[in-house]
Amino acid sequence: MKKVKIFADANLAVGTVDPNLYGSFIEHLGRAVYEGIYEPGHPTADADGFRADVIGLIKELNVPIVRYPGGNFLSGYDWRDGIGPKETRPTRLDLAWFTTESNQFGTDEFMKWCKKSGVTPMMAVNMGTGTIKDAAQLVEYCNHAGGTAISEMRKANGAIEPYHVRYWCIGNEMDGPWQIGHLSADEYGKKALEAAKVMRWANGELKEDNGTTWGSEPLKLVVSGSSNHEMKTFPEWDRVVLEHTYRAVDYLSMHRYYMYDEDRERPLEDFLGSADDMHEYIGTLKATIEYVRAKVRSKKRLAISFDEWNIWSVTAPRREPLWKSAPHLLEDVYTFRDAIVFAGLMNTLLNNCDVVKLGCLAQLVNVIAPIMTEKGGGTFKQTTFYPFRAIASTARGETLRTFSDSDSFETMYGAARCINEAVNHDKTTRTVCASLCNYSQSAREVELELRSFGALKATSYVEMAESDLAATNGFDRPDAVVPHEKELPAVKDGKVTLTLPAMSWSFVTFRY
């Protein structure tokens, strides 16, 4: 097999990595909130009922921002149900997931939890059953200092100071017929524009037509894009919505889950093609943003908020049982195969960091998540926990443009590269790191040429490689699939040669 050559240069960057690329998501779904982050009575729970063991793992993952409260749940949620004395909060049917919602955890609990977890809150307003008035009043509840009925409600609920929430999603997956209150692109575009307007006004800011703002620190608003690129309305939905809202918002949201499907003609190859497909998807939306920018004559460049991404092979129940509170839903257990595809998706996010400025791994705890918990018991780290932790902690600064002569293989999405990589350069720590997936069936030698950095020294090198692609972690085998440390490779004349095992993920860091 030929050696694959990858070249990267300190002066050729794709863009700067926004730390928010490593965000995540907590929805009122299954056991994400209840028994996940919130479990009064758990041995590690604090006075607010927040599980300290889970907070510890979230800090280990280096998650900077968390989106809340949904997801599909959002589109039937009345935020007023989740505030005030807990004993008076109503229990409601959640029509998105066919469960009952006790409302024991709501906006104020989330804000407290964010503070304790060291994460920035990213809130979402209901565009399904919710009105633009509900949206504006939630902004008022969170951000207005006091003296009005709504802001005094927050104070009465214990938060004297406003929360100053900056990041807001305007609805969730409104293009999907599964969404409560699903709308057409035109209907949603008009509603989202009006919502954006009144949310900003409730925040005490005014956005002029020429893009300048007046008043309080502006909100960062995310408008809902297509739920995925298989939607019949993609990418027309994105164009129409952006034409309505371009000047009023800051990000276009995109979502995508990839799955391993035994029923496909080439299940493995198709799954391994996910990272390259995600790159194509981002490319189409980037072009759509550029098209609308030209059409509406705006100087502003909208960013992408990839606020739901993950592997979701639908192996765990999605709806059963009916009307239970906090049932075990979407508790997929990730395989080693999932972990290496997951690492490739992270590479794609990095390689598009010029436009993808915010990302949310969906989700964070128990529901298609890197962290799993047991009621009253312990936790375990899924296979995907490890690539996330390594990349989110180290791949900072700039992503470098890579030039690779990797061979490729055929997938349902087209050709995908056997060696999938992302190379990052953090000037502040004088660190260069490379995340490398080998998607071929044999070990491959990769020569990484990083000549422009002068004298480089490898400082860490880990690899995930398993003979059993279906291997998983669990409460009874928490460390079955973990990264293993490798001997540090020598760098000679700016070049380093690594041997990547068949079907593996490797992560190497250097200092100069």
Residue numbers annotated as active site = 173, 308
Task: Count CB atoms within 10 A of the CB of residue 62.
Answer: 18
Residue placing its CB nearer to ligand AHR in the complex, 195 or 311: 311
Q: Identify the residue among 7, 21, 22, 27 touching ligand AHR (CB under 6 A).
A: 27
Stretch that binds ligand AHR, among 65-73, 239-247, 438-446, 469-477 (CB under 6 A): 65-73
Residue whose CB is less far from ligand AHR, 30 or 235: 30
Shortest spacing between CB 173 and ligand AHR, in angstroms: 5
| Total site size for ligand AHR, rule CB under 6 A | 9
- Closer to ligand AHR by CB, 172 or 402: give it: 172
Give Cβ neighbours of residue 486 (< 8 Å, ≥ 6 apart).
Answer: 461, 462, 463, 506
Instruction: Report d(CA 345, CA 305) in Å as an integer.
Output: 15
Residue closer to ligand AHR by CB (options 6, 123) is: 123
Q: What is the DSSP letter of 298?
A: -
Is residue 72 close enough to count as binding ligand AHR by CB under 6 A? yes
Q: Minimal distance in Å, beta carbon 274 to ligand AHR?
A: 16
Minimum distance from CB of 363 to ligand AHR (Å)? 6
Tell me: cis bond preceding 69? Omega within 30 of 0 counts.
yes
Residue placing its CB nearer to ligand AHR in the complex, 254 or 268:
254
- Minimal distance, residue 506 CB to ligand AHR, in Å: 29
Residue whose Cβ sits closest to ligand AHR: 71
Residue that the structure tokens 């198709």 belong to? 270
The answer to whether the Cα torsion of 134, 135, 138, 140 is positive or negative is negative
Kindly tell me which of 173 and 466 has the beta carbon lying closer to ligand AHR: 173
Least Å distance between CB 407 and ligand AHR?
34
Expressed in angstroms, the distance from the first to the final Cα of the chain is: 31
168, 199 contact by CB (below 8 A): yes
Options 30, 36, 69, 71; binder of ligand AHR; rule CB under 6 A: 71
Cβ proximity to ligand AHR: between 70 and 387 the closer is 70
Alpha carbon of residue 408 to chain centroid: 27
Interface stretch with ligand AHR, choices 66-74, 243-251, 369-377, 418-426 (CB under 6 A)? 66-74
Minimum gap (Å) between residue 254 Cβ and ligand AHR: 12
The phi and psi torsions of 271 (rounded to 5 degrees) equal -70, -40
Q: How far is the CB of 94 from ligand AHR (least distance, A)?
A: 11
Task: List binders of ligand AHR among 97-136 (CB under 6 A).
Answer: none
Tokens of 366: 């128990």
Tell me how far the alpha carbon of residue 87 is from its chain's centroid.
33
Nearest CB to ligand AHR, comparing residues 127 and 450: 127
DSSP state of 218: P
- In angstroms, rounded to a whole number, what is the distance separating the alpha carbons of residues 29 and 14? 36
The continuous run of DSSP H or E covering 338 comes out as: helix 336-351
C-alpha distances (whole Å) from 98 to each of 36, 75, 326, 365 are 19, 13, 11, 20
Residue 99 DSSP class: E
Least distance in angstroms from the C-beta of 308 to ligand AHR:
6
The only residue of 363, 373, 383, 506 in contact with ligand AHR, by rule CB under 6 A: 363
- Does 308 contact ligand AHR by CB under 6 A? yes
Contact between 62 and ligand AHR by CB under 6 A: the answer reads no
How many Cα atoms sit within 13 Å of 465 on the Cβ side?
A: 22
Which window, 64-72, 104-112, 147-155, 462-470, contacts ligand AHR (CB under 6 A)? 64-72
The binder of ligand AHR chosen from 108, 173, 277, 398 (CB under 6 A): 173
How many C-beta atoms lie closer than 10 Å to residue 369's C-beta? 27
70 binds ligand AHR (CB under 6 A): yes
Stretch that binds ligand AHR, among 47-55, 68-76, 241-249, 419-427 (CB under 6 A): 68-76
Residues 6+ apart with CB under 8 A from 97: 29, 30, 72, 73, 318, 319, 329
- Residue 126: which of 138, 144, 114 has the closest Cα? 138
d(C-alpha 282, C-alpha 272), whole Å: 17
Judged by the rule CB under 6 A, the positions of this chain that interact with ligand AHR are: 27, 70-72, 172-173, 308, 362-363
